[in-house]
Amino acid sequence: MSYLILSIVILLIGILGIILNRSNLIIMLMCVELVLLASTILLLFESRVLYTLSGQIFAIMILTVAAAESAIGLAIMVNYYRLRGTIAVRAINLLRG
Amino acid sequence: MYLLIILIPLLSAVGSGLGGRYLGGKGAGLLTSVWVMASCFISLILCYEILINGSPVYIELGRWIESDLLMTNFGLQFDMVTAVMLIVVTTISGLVHIYSTSYMREDPHLPRFMSYLSIFTFFMLVLVTSNNYVQLFIGWEGVGLCSYLLINFWFTRIQANKAAIKAMLINRIGDIGLILAIILIWKEFGVLDYCSLFSTVSSSSTCTWICLFLTIGAAGKSAQLGLHTWLPDAMEGPTPVSALIHAATMVTAGVFLIIRSAPLFDHSPTATIIVGLVGSLTAFFAATVGLVQSDIKKVIAYSTCSQLGYMIMACGTYNCLSSLYHLLTHAFFKALLFLGAGSIIHSLLDEQDLRKMGGIIRSLPLTYILMLIGSLSLAGFPYLSGFYSKDLILELTYNSYCLISIYWLASITAFLTAFYSFRLIYLSFVAKPNLTLMSAQHLQESDWNLLGPLLVLGVGSILVGYIAQNMVFAPGLRPLPFAPTIISLAPVIMSVTGILLVFILSPYIIYYVSRPSLYGFLFYAWEFNQIANYYIGSTVWKFGHTVSYLTIDRGILEILGPTGIARLLIDRTRDISRLQSGLLFNYALIILVGAALALNYLLVN
């Protein structure tokens, strides 16, 4: 049960970090990592409780996806920094409707 | 031949209107004059057949409107009333055509003018020869149209434009009356041609309403009190137009309508008394205004208005034939007066102001004699044509059993008529010269194209009254008024007094208006124009601007319609597009909220 609460708390921290963060794009990426971490913890906990392996398989898949995502995300961020000289989130609003 | 009399003016108008550029001014004048005179001779032959040999003709031409309840045919009816009107219309029109070829010689648009005159003659003939009310209405509207075109002939003058629009609009009020009358006739009796209608007519309250609407129609066209203001303004048109349309023919269409509808009026005493009152008041009003006018054409225009009042009044005493008789004689002497005034104006280099005339008796003796004949005839001097018809109407009015005030108004009018017609003669011919040097040097009689019609009309003004009295009042049924000797003599005494009074009062009969006074009140025609402009014109204008235009058209309808909907769509889309701020965390929030809502929806269901 405490694992469940832990994963939900991490998920909420990640989500709030994405929404409330105004300054830095790196924090946003880290928060995405937190969300993925929370889901991984939840999957592992579930595989432990239900005695199945599929949870762990999914956890490994998510680790892979998370690694790839952070790699691509960082690459985008670096490119963005080269272009604009800043990675503040509040500055990324040129595509408003 | 019966069709020919109508078609000749039409063909003449088409020929002169469409072929004017090939014919030129002289050619168009010759063509239309000859053809309309031909029509005039045909009408004389027809009058011999209809009036003297007593053979009315009824021609059915074809079907026009045909539905279950309404049948209207094209048809012609040549009876006594039509025959008299034919003489009036074609004779005056023919003479005016000839007159115009001289009077309008310098005008570059003479073919157009002659075409308008001819098409006017055509519409007038359609009006008088029709055998039903709907076909009458064609002619009725047609002459209104021609009146507009002819007043507006010199279309570069702003006054002419305004006068033409005024004439059209005020006539339109009368036309609405006529349309309502026609609709009511159809509703009440189900037929619109005269023969069927007058054989089925019966007394009812609807009949009174029909007659009242017909009276409104006649008041609009014949310039009766209240709807008369267009007639003096119509003097902006060329003088031949004033003679043809606004003195002799078109304005008598209203009288013709009442004469034609006499069987209806016989069934409605109320409407008949109203007609008599309206006529007598108009006669009195116009005569008082005519006393002080300084424009020579306006004096004659108001006298026309006054004489039309006489005719309408005669209809109001159940004596439509005497009204028709006065119409006939009036057409001759009024056309003579107008054309004579045109001759004076022409000789004085287009000077219309009586105050700038005087003393032209030596230079224009023939015009003087003819104007004198016309004025004496208008004043009802014994043995001229006006005497026969006007005295008859006055005595019949005394004799009739409705209001005696009508008689007194008419008598005073007879006196005033004599006064203002001789005031005109005095001021233009006899008084001390007040001309400009330029016009005094050029003063001479015009050519014979201009004077010939005047001579014919002069002879007509002398003889027509005597000749026609046994023709109009079919076989020897001239109404014999029973009046005391003093009443029979009264009109002659009145008119002679009026004539003499001019020479007694001669130093005082011209006057310059400087301040509000009785003179100014009469000079501005009882302030009718001002009252109508202020209380009706500007009120309607304001209503149209604020209510119809600003509140409804550009207000409610615009908001409910295009502008309002467009603004709504634009505002809402702007709001929605503002939702997309470009900031990532807002998108993330929207995604999460959306996901939560979707999850909630799924879980609840």
pLDDT, tens digit, 9 for 90 and up, residues B485-541: 888 888 889 889 988 988 888 777 766 656 678 888 888 888 888 888 899 889 999
Residues of chain A found within 8 Å of residue B583, distances taken between Cβ atoms: 89-90, 92-93, 96
Of A19, A28, A89, which is closest to B589 when you measure between CB atoms?
A19
Please answer whether residues B101 and B29 qualify as being in contact, where contact means their C-beta atoms are separated by less than 8 angstroms: yes
Q: How confident is the model at residue B147 (pLDDT cuts 50, 70, 90)?
A: very high
At B444 the pLDDT is 83
Instruction: Give the chain A residue whose CA is nearest to the CA of B587.
Output: A19
pLDDT tens digit sequence for B394-412 = 888 888 766 788 888 899 9
Lowest-pLDDT choice from A59-63, B280-284, B346-350, B366-370 = B346-350
Cβ burial of A30 (10 Å; 0-12, 13-18, 19+) is: middle
Q: How confident is the model at residue A22 (pLDDT cuts 50, 70, 90)?
A: confident
Q: Are β-strands B71-78 and B57-66 bridged in parallel, bridged antiparallel, or unpaired? A: antiparallel
Q: How far is A15 from chain B (nearest CA, A)?
A: 9
Taking an 8 Å cut-off on Cβ atoms, the answer to whether A22 and B585 are in contact is yes
Residues of B with CB under 8 A from a CB of A: 577-585, 588-589, 592
Which helix (H) or strand (E) segment holds residue B170: the answer is helix B158-189
At B402 the pLDDT is 67
Of B580, B582, B588, which is closest to A18 when you measure between CB atoms?
B588
Please answer whether residues B16 and B114 qualify as being in contact, where contact means their C-beta atoms are separated by less than 8 angstroms: yes
Q: How far is A84 from chain B (nearest CA, A)?
A: 16
Residues of chain A found within 8 Å of residue B594, distances taken between Cβ atoms: none
Written as six digits, the tokens of B53 are: 């040999």
Is residue B477 pLDDT above 70, yes or no? no
At B401 the pLDDT is 65
The arithmetic mean of pLDDT across residues B51-76, rounded, is 86
Separation CA B495–CA B497 (nearest Å): 5
Taking an 8 Å cut-off on Cβ atoms, the answer to whether B592 and A96 are in contact is no
Which helix (H) or strand (E) segment holds residue B70: the answer is none
CA torsion sign for B476, B481, B487, B490 is negative
The arithmetic mean of pLDDT across residues B230-238, rounded, is 90
Q: How far is B574 from chain A (nearest CA, A)?
A: 9
Average confidence score pLDDT of chain B: 89
Q: How far is B576 from chain A (nearest CA, A)?
A: 9
Residues of chain B found within 8 Å of residue A21, distances taken between Cβ atoms: 585
At B66 the pLDDT is 85
- Residue found under tokens 């009264």: B490
Q: Which residues pair with B62 in a beta bridge?
A: B74
Q: How far is B575 from chain A (nearest CA, A)?
A: 10
pLDDT tens digit sequence for B256-298 = 999 999 999 999 989 999 999 999 999 999 999 998 888 999 9
Taking an 8 Å cut-off on Cβ atoms, the answer to whether B577 and A97 are in contact is yes
Q: How far is B588 from chain A (nearest CA, A)?
A: 6
Instruction: Give the chain B residue whose CA is nearest to the CA of A23.
Output: B585
Taking an 8 Å cut-off on Cβ atoms, the answer to whether A94 and B584 are in contact is no
The arithmetic mean of pLDDT across residues B23-47, rounded, is 92
Neighbour count for residue B299 (Cβ, 10 Å) = 26
Neighbour count for residue B298 (Cβ, 10 Å) = 19
- Residue found under tokens 């009174």: B208
Q: Which residues pair with B337 in a beta bridge?
A: none
Q: How far is B604 from chain A (nearest CA, A)?
A: 21
Higher pLDDT, A72 or B66: A72
Residues of chain A found within 8 Å of residue B581, distances taken between Cβ atoms: 93, 96-97
**ipTM of the shown complex:** 0.82
Q: How confident is the model at residue B432 (pLDDT cuts 50, 70, 90)?
A: confident
Of A19, A95, A97, which is closest to B585 when you measure between CB atoms?
A19
Q: Which of B575, B584, B590, B599 to mutate to test the interface with A (most CBs of A within 10 A)?
A: B584
Is residue B476 pLDDT above 70, yes or no? no
Taking an 8 Å cut-off on Cβ atoms, the answer to whether B585 and A93 are in contact is no
Please answer whether residues A10 and A34 qualify as being in contact, where contact means their C-beta atoms are separated by less than 8 angstroms: yes
Three-class DSSP labels, B16-50: HHHCHHHHHHHHHHHHHHHHHHHHHHHHHHHHHHH
Written as six digits, the tokens of B276 are: 């008599």
Neighbour count for residue B322 (Cβ, 10 Å) = 28
Separation CA B138–CA B179 (nearest Å): 11
Separation CA B283–CA B326 (nearest Å): 14
Instruction: Give the chain A residue whose CA is nearest to the CA of B588.
Output: A19
Separation CA B456–CA B582 (nearest Å): 97
Of B578, B582, B585, which is closest to A18 when you measure between CB atoms?
B585
At B142 the pLDDT is 94
Residues of chain A found within 8 Å of residue B580, distances taken between Cβ atoms: 96-97
Nearest to B282 by CA among B306, B246, B255: B306
Of A18, A22, A93, which is closest to B582 when you measure between CB atoms?
A93
B583: three-class secondary structure by DSSP = coil
